[in-house]
Amino acid sequence: MSCSGAGGMREMKSAEYGKNTIFVTGVAKPSKDDPIASVYEVIFLSLVIDRETDIIVDATCNTAREMTKDFICSLLIGRNIVEGTDAIVQEIRGRFFGLAQKAIIVALKDAHNRYLMARKTIGGC
């Protein structure tokens, strides 16, 4: 199950992603104050990215609440991971005030770096 649809609404789907998409995951350690730390040792942020446009076409993450996951996905889907990472970080800082904010930003930056390495590996630039 992943986030998709208008307004970040969740729906069950068996997505078929085109051959031009890449799957990457970024990880970060949550703060001890974050309730998710009692369940997970790391926060992950998984992205499906169109390598021709660098647009995030789908996203998911492990959070304590579905609403949190939906909100985070709404900040990511449709955004450019290469040219727009700084803008995404600013939007997270300005709109997401959950305890996992810092970890989500770190996981996003990790996913960004992994995507750039993957593009380089497969010859896309």
Residue 125 within a domain: no
Q: Which domain holds residue 114?
A: 2-120
Task: Per-residue pLDDT tens, the chain, 125 aa: give them.
Answer: 455 444 444 454 556 899 999 999 999 988 777 777 677 788 999 999 999 999 999 999 998 789 999 999 999 999 999 999 999 999 999 999 988 899 999 999 999 999 999 999 987 55
Please enumerate in sequence order all residues whose Cβ is within 8 A of that of 55, keeping only pairs 6 or more positions apart, or say none.
49, 78, 79, 80, 81
pTM over 0.85: no
Q: Which CATH number is 109's domain given?
A: 3.90.1010
Q: How many domains does the chain have?
A: 1
Distances (CA, A) of 68 to 36, 39, 80, 104, 118: 11, 15, 21, 11, 28
